[in-house]
């Protein structure tokens, strides 16, 4: 899995890379102007997702727990145990808040303040969350999950009210599963992968 950002290319390990580590590649190397220099940072678990807050220059990794890495020092600066099973993460640079989802018997979404590295809010009641994204312009956190009838849906959490304020069915039956999710704050559009529809991508607005 690769995640392109303006100054670095971050790859979460787990397949071709080393398990339990995050690698960074200088942007100059991607343009072929310098030798590639890799930085391997152990995060103490299986990294599922990586996101970056460009304002604080913090890399956040969902690796069973929530791990914070400094882009400046390339070192782990915090390891936050919310509950077992943290595998989704998204950052809101506007509010300096990181949103993470963890799933055991049920899923919950938590808000972590970057100023303190502590959990500020917890929202529960989700079923098999598979994707998360933030719309800083509208103050919404979007989560892809299953409905009580096991059909794909997306839910919007208000960053101000800390509760679900909208639920949108993706018009797919229980034979389909929600996948990853991405948000375009410029248009307010949420993109959700629905699998194994052949292939299918659904937009929610």
Nearest CA among 58, 56, 54, 17 for reference residue 39 = 17
> Does one domain contain both 187 and 98?
yes
Q: Does 177 score more than 60 pLDDT? A: yes
Task: Decide: 69 and 59 in contact? Cβ < 8 Å.
Answer: yes
> Does one domain contain both 109 and 195?
yes
> Does one domain contain both 132 and 162?
yes
What is the tally of structural domains in the chain? 2
> What is the enclosing helix (H) or strand (E) of 129?
strand 118-135
Task: Decide: 96 and 53 in contact? Cβ < 8 Å.
Answer: yes
Q: What is the mean pLDDT of the chain?
A: 81
> Does one domain contain both 63 and 92?
no
- What confidence tier does 27 reach under pLDDT thresholds 50, 70, 90? low
> Does one domain contain both 11 and 110?
no
Q: Does 143 score more than 60 pLDDT? A: yes
Q: What is the pTM of this model?
A: 0.78
pLDDT of residue 66: 95
pLDDT of residue 127: 83
pLDDT of residue 23: 59
Worst-scoring range by mean pLDDT, 15-29, 60-74, 104-118? 15-29
Domain of residue 16, residue span: 1-81
pLDDT of residue 4: 31
Per residue in 88-132, pLDDT (tens digit) is 999 999 999 999 998 877 789 999 999 999 999 999 888 889 999
pLDDT of residue 183: 95
> Does one domain contain both 74 and 95?
no
pLDDT of residue 117: 95
pLDDT of residue 204: 58
> Does one domain contain both 97 and 36?
no
**Cβ atoms within 10 Å, residue 163:** 10
Domain boundary among 20, 51, 81: 81
Domain boundary among 65, 81, 97: 81
């Amino acid at each position: 899995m690769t995640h392109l950002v303006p100054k670095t290319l971050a790859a979460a390990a787990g397949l071709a890379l080393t398990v339990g580590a995050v690698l960074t590649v200088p942007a100059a190397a991607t343009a072929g102007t310098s030798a590639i220099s890799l930085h391997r940072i152990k995060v103490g678990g299986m990294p599922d997702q990586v996101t970056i807050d460009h304002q604080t220059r913090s890399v956040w990794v969902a690796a069973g727990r929530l791990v914070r890495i400094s882009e400046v020092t390339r070192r782990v600066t915090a390891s936050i145990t919310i509950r077992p099973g943290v595998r989704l993460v998204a950052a809101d640079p506007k509010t300096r808040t990181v949103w993470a989802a963890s799933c055991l018997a049920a899923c919950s979404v938590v808000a972590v303040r970057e100023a303190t590295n502590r959990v500020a809010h917890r929202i529960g009641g989700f079923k098999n969350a598979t994707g998360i994204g933030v719309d800083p312009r509208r103050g919404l956190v979007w989560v892809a999950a299953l409905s009580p009838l096991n059909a794909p849906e997306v839910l919007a959490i208000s960053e101000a009210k800390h509760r679900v304020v909208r639920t949108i069915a993706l018009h797919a039956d229980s034979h389909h599963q929600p996948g990853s999710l991405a948000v375009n704050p410029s248009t307010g559009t949420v993109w959700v992968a629905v699998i194994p529809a052949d292939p299918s991508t659904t937009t929610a607005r």
